[in-house]
A = this chain, B = another copy of it.
């Protein structure tokens, strides 16, 4: 048994030093942060490992956009799976809009009159939908040529500016496949609906992305999974392992809990029973708001040594 050494904090210490301190502390929250950073470090360093990065939740309105970009820019992400909401919030910022610091103890009727859409204590101006619609009107023909949702997102990335940077543009530039099984369930989906309602056609088959993500999981030498939030992105990566190649590394950051039996809160070890995770894989569950845990972990992973 390894005795617990207590975390020491020093003025001016680096995040890396703090996370190293955490590694010898208890296994609870702090120890899991350290273990998450350690496993991610190995996962990103293992060039044989294809990394499946699943991300859900309000990370863009929560101010975490640049960290997601940064993770993608490492060039180490083999597959990115996300929600339509993340792509919507990230894309409207690429089109020049911003999110704003607000409050939750507020009159939502008043916000509605002011044209502000609330996500807990972040606000988004309702005018973003005008910019999004212009984008879809202008580029419809290019977008309608897509043969899968993955390809639609690839084309969207090609049409977004280099600056401000965006998930879709980065993934286009780096040829990272972006999967978004529930893209219809988002502001982007609504814009596409607007075109369809106006009489346009968009014959993108719903199921072809499955072949691609499963092929990637199958053809890799080794798989690793990195989940920020649960939902469809986590589950879609998890199931890509089920009938192909089990994950050898796993890190998840979640605020959900296992007792309800849902996928979002499930411990990674549960995946061993399903054949989604190797029984000798290295993995950890970090139970924390991702807007807190991700910056710490990522700052530690980015720092050499």
Contacts and interface: CB of A to CB of B under 8 A. Distances in A.
Given A3-B98, A28-B289, A85 B118 contact: no
Interface string A84-127: 01000000000000111111110011011000111111110010
A295 B30 contact: yes
A202 B197 contact: no
A216 to B, nearest CB: 13
B25 A64 contact: yes
Indicate the size class of the contact surface on chain A. 35 or more
Count this chain's copies in the assembly: 4
B122 A206 contact: no
A159 interface: no
A235 interface: yes
A119 B56 contact: no
> Which 8 pairs show the lowest CB-CB distances between chains A and B?
A25-B63, A58-B261, A29-B289, A108-B272, A206-B206, A29-B291, A111-B273, A193-B210
Interface of A: 1-16, 18, 21-22, 24-31, 33, 56-58, 61-67, 70, 85, 98-105, 108-109, 111-112, 116-123, 126, 149, 181-187, 189-190, 192-193, 196-197, 202-211, 214, 229, 231-232, 235-236, 239, 242-243, 255-264, 266, 269-275, 279, 287-293, 295-296, 298-299, 302-304
